Structure 1
Amino acid sequence: MSSDISVNVQNLSKCYQIYDRPRDRLKQFVVPRLQRQVGMQPQQYFREFWALKDVTLEVRKGETVGIIGRNGSGKSTLLQMICGTLNPTSGEVHTTGRVAALLELGSGFNPEFTGRENVHMNAAIVGLSPDEIEARFDDIAAFADIGGFLEQPVKSYSSGMVVRLAFAVQAMINPDILVVDEALAVGDEKFQRKCFTRLEELKARGTSILFVSHSAPSIIELCDRALVLDRGARIMYTSPQQAIRAYQKIIYAPDKDYQHLVQSYVAADQSGEAPAIERDFPRAVETSEKAAAENAAIFDPGLIPETTSVYPIQGAEIENISILDENNNAVNVLNAGSVYQFEISGKFIDNFSGVYFGMHIRNVSGAVITGQKYPEDGNFIRAVQGGSAFTVRFSFNMSLIPGVYFVGAGVWSAEEPTCAHRIMDAIMFRVSAVGKPISFGYVNLSASEPRLEMV
């Protein structure tokens, strides 16, 4: 292995034996042996499930690699084999230096031991001597910042306290390789920021970091390269931006397009060239002005939310919610900076008075980014007749930062029943970038490019 490579994974695979019935496990243990002894072809009583298959990658010293993929794609299996806590079915893993891992909440902690005792035990496991542990203990305790709970059994900790102490132990021992598997999602915002600052410090001193996250901004900001896994296979190992683009297209692809997408990305990964699929599907992120000008909003049938919640019909019914471009075409892949109409249509079943309509846009964590009402606050539609249809349009300048968002809408009344009908997460849409990104967060409020004056 090259001296500048800290992690070398070659054709790594992991297969599990799945038994449909408990007695099949006993049969598998006994019957095939007897069949071999009498010269018969041994019978198999299990099904094979390949959690990971023929995955190869290298991580350079000081490099941060993001690992992304939907649930069940093999991310955790890969990390466990790199850390040595899981044996591969085939393939090889070679690591250089001290490996520290934060694989799951509370892993490696004895719940009956105090926080102090668990710090000593975990630090010893990764190879620190008693003197080294004592020298670094104050830094670990300060980083965890759990106060007097450090002297209490871990079983009395909250989930946030467990992850604080676990990260503090692994990150403050200055490992050569640090593996983090989604555990930071448990901590609060202040602690997450503290963790990412520490990751940057470790990266600067030459630590290799393998980082699993479903957060596209975190992968892009923190990582040098990213590995896309799907159904146990390596799809791409490339720049974070291109990996996120591939991941988003794969998870939202209709079944009829899935295989075509995967084959194109795998072929591009093997050849080192741009994926052919990028010429067939709209880009999630555009970096050139020319490409952005040619990128029209489209409708992607794969963008279907799984969190839709329909409220009871109490005198009105929303029948359709859609997003329309300037040509009145239904779209759900939108260009940043363009104007779109969010249309809600339906019918009133009963007579109503004091009616108003509303819609909102939420991010993936559920926070309301923006919304509109009609009429404006304090005003109402005085009377509507049962049997009448309605269509209301809300106009939005798409100033959202590129990403995925969800739309909900409702019909309300100032009188009972106050909620005539409501649908949460009725549709989802994705905002694509146009030009170079000049803002971050959720919305782009910039009026012009920043200017610098020096005297």
Structure 2
Amino acid sequence: MSSEIAIKVEALSKCFQIYDQPRDRLKQMIVPRLQRAVRQPPNQYYREFWALKDVSFEVNKGETVGIIGRNGSGKSTLLQIICGTLNPTGGLVQANGRIAALLELGSGFNPEFTGRENVYLNGAVLGLNKAEIDVRYDDIAAFADIGQFIERPVKTYSSGMYVRLAFAVQAMVDPDIFIVDEALAVGDEKFQRKCFARLEELKSRGTSILFVSHSAGSIVELCQKTMLLDNGSRIMYGPAPEAIQAYQKLLYAPVEAQERLIQEIQATDFTSTTKKNQFTLDGLVDNVPVSPQHDDPVNTTENQSIDAFDPGLIPETTTVYPVQGAIIDSIVITNSTDQIVNILQPGKTYYFTVIGRTLTNFSGIFFGIHIKSISGIVITGQRYPETGTYIENMTENQTFKTIFSFRMDLLPGAYFVGGGVWSRDEPNCAHRIIDALMFRVSPLNSDISFGYVDLMSLNPTTSISRFSDENK
């Protein structure tokens, strides 16, 4: 294995034997042996469940890879085999370096031991001697921040305390490979932020990270690549935003269309760019509505201070969800004079309009729109009506036109807009379009703020003076 590769997985498969009754396990141990002894075909008293089927991928050193998929797709089984807690039925796993893993809540803890004792126990399992753990102990205790509970048996811990201590131990031993399986969802917001900051620090030091999460934003923000699993098979392995889009479309697809959609996604595996309408299903929407284009292209270089429309701003990552009772015909951005625009000016108000129609009756419905960054992070969004309320009794063949207003406090750059129609019966989505259109915010006169949003109310000030002897 190349020295630049941290994890190499080749044709990995895992089969579990499922017994309908306890006595079938005993039969399987005895009867087939007797049948083979008398040269009879052996009976099989179990059903095979293939949790993984011929999965292959590589993770480079210093790379962060997300793993996503529906429940039961094989994510946890894959991680357990990589960590060595499960043996594969077939295939090969090679890992280069020390592996630290946070697989399940409290995994690896002895409930009768105190937190301190479990720190030393886990450290020893990870290959550290007592002196090495002594050096790291204060940092682990400070990161976990559970106070005097660290001297109490972990069986008395809350779920939050479990994950705090478990993450602190695994993340503070400076692993070469760090594996996290959805455990961070237990912590509160402040602890989650501290964990993600630690993950960023590990990334900067060259640690390879495998990260399982159902949070699309976390996957896109942390991971360079993402693997989509379904029913034990690798469906896609590529850039995180593209894998997330494929996963979300599969998640919301009608049952009768899922197998066909899986085949289409697999056909695009390893491609670097998701083309427009790449995953369109037969009988669904064939074309993504885009803003009407002006006959004469606008020279945006010469018109940075005015609203404009650039026909070249068309996203290549548009993803159309299946139509399930409603259809979005268009999403457009207009200014205060009803001009359709996609070159926007900082500080001005714009109107994002979603137009469509219902194809069936709904007892409850709501509309939403979001703005994403280039990396796929949702920066902001709105829904109508407010959370917990719905538009009642919409009937077949009614049209809708929902207008959302945004004051453009985003910093200069390109952004993507998506919208959807949801019914009360979540997670079913009546219709949704991801990255339906894109827009650009023009440069500011001054360049002081950074990030995504300009929240500055006054220019910053500073006071500079000589450091005198009386200040010493």
TM range (shorter): 0.7 to 0.9
Aligned residue runs from structure 1 range 309-324, under 5 A: none
Aligned length: 379
* Contact map agreement 2:14 2:51 (CA 8 A) in 1: yes
The Cα shift of 1:255 comes to 3.3
Aligned counterpart in structure 1 of residue 384 of structure 2, from 354, 357, 371:
371
Which ranges in structure 2 are unaligned for 5 or more consecutive residues?
Answer: 291-309, 332-341, 343-350, 371-380, 387-397, 407-414, 449-472
2:403 matched to which residue of 1?
Answer: 396
- What root-mean-square deviation, in Å, do the aligned CA atoms of Structure 1 and Structure 2 show? 4.0
Equivalent pair of 2:327/2:356 in contact (CA under 8 Å) = yes
Deviation at 1:95, TM superposition (A): 0.5
Matches within 5 A, 1:8-407: 8-269=8-269, 278=278, 280-281=280-281, 292=314, 300-301=322-323, 325=329, 337-340=352-355, 369-372=382-385, 395-397=402-404, 407=422
Query: By how many angstroms is 1:248 displaced?
Result: 1.5
Partner SS state of residue 257, structure 2: helix
Question: For residues 357 and 270 of structure 2, what CA distance do their matches in structure 1 show?
Answer: 42
**Amino acid in the other structure paired with 2:200:** E
The answer to whether the aligner puts 1:432 opposite 2:434 as a matched pair is yes
CA distance in 2 between partners of 1:263 and 1:168 (Å): 41
CA distance in structure 2 between the partners assigned to 1:338 and 1:210 by the alignment: 39
Distance across 2 between alignment mates of 1:193 and 1:110: 27
Distance 2:125 2:98 in 1: 10
Partner-residue secondary structure (3-state), 2:269: helix
Determine the C-alpha separation between the residues in 1 that align with 2:311 and 2:95: 42
Compute the displacement of 1:437 (Å).
7.3
Task: Show the counterpart of 2:375.
Answer: none
SS in 2 for 1:292: coil
Verify the 8 A CA contact 1:406 1:427 in the aligned structure 2: yes
Amino acid at match of 2:404: N
With normalisation by structure 1, the TM-score equals 0.72
Q: Is the 8 A contact 2:159 2:186 kept in 1?
A: yes
Measure, in 1, the Cα distance between the counterparts of 2:361 and 2:258. Answer: 34
Offset at residue 240 of structure 1 (A): 0.5
CA shift digits 1:271-317 (9 cap, x unpaired): 77867970635799x9x96583899997724x6xxxxxxxxxxxxxx
**2:320/2:432 contact within 8 Å kept:** no
Task: Render the CA deviation track for 1:331-358: whole Å, top value 9, x for unaligned.
Answer: xxxx99433368899999xxxxxxxx99
Q: Measure, in 1, the Cα distance between the counterparts of 2:61 and 2:206.
A: 6
Contact 2:31 2:43 in 1 (8 A): yes
Query: Secondary structure at 2:278's aligned position in 1?
Result: helix
CA contact (8 A) 1:10 1:92 kept: yes
Paired with 2:129 and 2:404, the residues of 1 have a C-alpha distance of: 60
Instruction: Report the TM-score when normalising by structure 2.
Output: 0.70
Aligned to 2:444: 451
User: Deviations along 1:389-416, whole A, 9 cap, x unmatched?
Assistant: xx8967333879767867467xxxxxxx
Shift of 1:453: 2.7
1:241-275 deviation digits (Å, cap 9, x = unpaired): 11112112222222343232222222332677867
Deviations 1:180-214 (A, max 9, x none): 00000111111111111100100110100000011
Could you say if the C-alpha distance between residues 358 and 343 of structure 1 is closer, same or farther in structure 2, counting changes exceeding 3 Å?
Answer: same
Distance 1:63 1:279 in 2: 28
CA distance in 2, matches of 1:247, 1:283: 20
When residues 172 and 11 of structure 1 are mapped into structure 2, their CA distance, relative to the original with a 3 A threshold, is same
Relative to structure 1, is the Cα distance of residues 343 and 28 closer, same or farther in structure 2, using a 3 angstrom cutoff? Answer: closer
Which whole-Å CA distance do the structure 1 matches of 2:128 and 2:179 have between them? Answer: 18
Q: 1:45 to 1:289 in 2, by over 3 A?
A: farther
- Determine the C-alpha separation between the residues in 1 that align with 2:277 and 2:45: 41
Q: Do the aligned partners of 1:66 and 1:223 also contact (CA within 8 Å) in 2? A: yes
8 A Cα contact 1:6 1:96, kept in partner: yes
Give the 3-state SS of the residue equivalent to 1:338 in structure 2: strand
Letter matched to residue 453 of structure 1: S
Deviations 1:10-44 (A, max 9, x none): 11100001112222111111100000000111111
How far does the alpha carbon of each residue in 1:112-160 deviate from its partner, in whole angstroms, 9 at most, with x for none? Answer: 1111111111011101110110100011111111111111111111111
Cα pair distance change 1:178/1:433, threshold 3 Å: same
